[in-house]
């Protein structure tokens, strides 16, 4: 006679927010997709589409776009979970638990790839992308710390057009550091007037959800970020610039 099973299964840790929903998702029917890519910027004066100040009745100057092809290949992410028939019969919650738990694992695997992916057999992550800008600590700053000046330096390197969509990704180790972040406020003569907070907690002045906002942008805590003091402990990213190719939705198959 098997023991009685509780109708629900206890979980040590619930799943965290997936970053995939914040990316530029494109659904495809095949295994690869090719995009034309324009790497010219609006402010460059040579190459690509250009604009000119012309006088009336003058001949307009033509310019052509400079495009290159980008081919992206999909990679499959799977979870295979063997369960005995007896266990499924004895525990009514087991089937639903396995489905939801596997989904949590898959979601975090995708989030981790978005941050740390090598691009070999998996997506290319933010930290390994050639476009990533690394901002070092201040010269006299103590190692394994995060200060207000660090956050300001990161914002200064973020393209202006992306800042309104950017989010902060931090490891949970950073929570004690960001709760008291601020910058000194001085008067015209250099007299110290106090400290201006740059982190606002949720339901406070920022009226934001989750872990609040830092310099006006939401903070997302994820285990995909590195520990405090290592590269990737704090990331400021516009995830709408991260192209995520997906093929259909999560599929679940059960076989005896």
**DSSP letter string over 44-97?**
-SSSSS------TTPPPPP----EEEEEEE-----------HHHHHH-TTHHHH
Query: pLDDT, tens digit, for every residue of 139-172?
Result: 889 999 999 999 999 999 999 999 999 999 999 9
Q: What is the pLDDT of residue 185?
A: 78
Q: Counting beta carbons within 10 angstroms of the beta carbon of residue 202, is it exposed (0 to 12), middle (13 to 18) or buried (19 or more)? A: middle
CA neighbor of 19 nearest in space, from 97, 102, 91, 126: 126
pLDDT bracket for residue 19 (50, 70, 90): very high
Q: What is the token pair recorded at 206?
A: 């920022």
Buried b (16+ CB within 10 A) or exposed e, 144-181: eebbbebbeebbeebeeeeeeebbbbbbebbeebbeeb
Q: What is the pLDDT of residue 151?
A: 95
Most distant CA atoms of the chain, gap in Å: 95
Cα(104)–Cα(13) distance, integer angstroms: 10
Structure-token match 């934001």, residue found: 208
Give the range with max mean pLDDT: 32-36, 152-156, 209-213: 152-156
pLDDT bracket for residue 2 (50, 70, 90): low
pLDDT bracket for residue 91 (50, 70, 90): confident
Find out whether 239 and 167 touch, Cβ atoms under 8 Å.
yes
pLDDT higher than 90, residue 99: no
Query: pLDDT, tens digit, for every residue of 216-243?
Result: 999 999 999 999 999 999 999 999 999 9
Question: With pLDDT > 90 as the criterion, what percentage of the chain qualifies?
Answer: 52
Give the range with max mean pLDDT: 86-95, 194-203, 242-251: 242-251
CA neighbor of 8 nearest in space, from 143, 102, 101, 111: 101
Question: With pLDDT > 70 as the criterion, what percentage of the chain qualifies?
Answer: 91
Q: Kindly report the average pLDDT of the chain as a whole number.
A: 87
Q: What is the pLDDT of residue 206?
A: 44
pLDDT higher than 50, residue 205: no
DSSP SS3 for 236: strand
pLDDT higher than 90, residue 190: no
Cα(38)–Cα(69) distance, integer angstroms: 9
pLDDT bracket for residue 124 (50, 70, 90): very high
More confident residue, 229 or 194: 229
pLDDT bracket for residue 189 (50, 70, 90): confident
Q: Rounded mean pLDDT of 123-142?
A: 93
Q: What is the token pair recorded at 101?
A: 């738990």
pLDDT higher than 80, residue 79: yes
pLDDT higher than 90, residue 5: no
Cα(64)–Cα(50) distance, integer angstroms: 8
pLDDT higher than 50, residue 208: no
């Amino acid at each position: 006679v098997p023991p009685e099973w509780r109708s629900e299964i206890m979980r040590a840790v619930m799943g965290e927010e997936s970053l995939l929903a914040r990316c530029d998702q494109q659904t495809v029917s095949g295994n690869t997709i090719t995009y034309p890519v324009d790497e010219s910027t609006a402010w460059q004066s040579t190459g690509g589409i250009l604009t000119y100040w012309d006088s009336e009745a003058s001949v307009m100057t033509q310019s052509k776009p400079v495009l290159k092809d980008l081919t992206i290949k999909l990679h499959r992410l799977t979870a295979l979970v063997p369960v005995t028939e007896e266990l499924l019969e004895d525990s009514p919650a087991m089937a639903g638990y396995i489905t939801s738990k596997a989904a949590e694992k898959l979601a975090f695997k995708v989030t981790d790839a978005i941050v740390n992916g090598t691009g070999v057999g998996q997506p290319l992550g933010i930290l390994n992308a050639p476009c990533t800008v690394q901002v070092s600590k201040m010269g006299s700053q103590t190692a394994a710390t995060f200060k207000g000046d660090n956050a300001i330096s990161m914002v200064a390197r973020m393209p202006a057009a992306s800042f309104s969509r950017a989010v902060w990704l931090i490891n949970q180790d950073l929570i004690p550091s960001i709760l008291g972040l601020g910058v000194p406020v001085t008067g015209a003569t250099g007299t110290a007037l106090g400290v201006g907070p740059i982190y606002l907690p949720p339901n406070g002045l920022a009226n934001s959800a989750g872990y609040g906002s830092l310099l006006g942008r939401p903070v997302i805590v994820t285990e995909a970020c590195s520990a405090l003091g290592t590269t990737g402990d704090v990331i400021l990213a516009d995830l709408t610039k991260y192209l995520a190719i997906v093929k259909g939705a999560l599929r679940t198959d059960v076989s005896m």
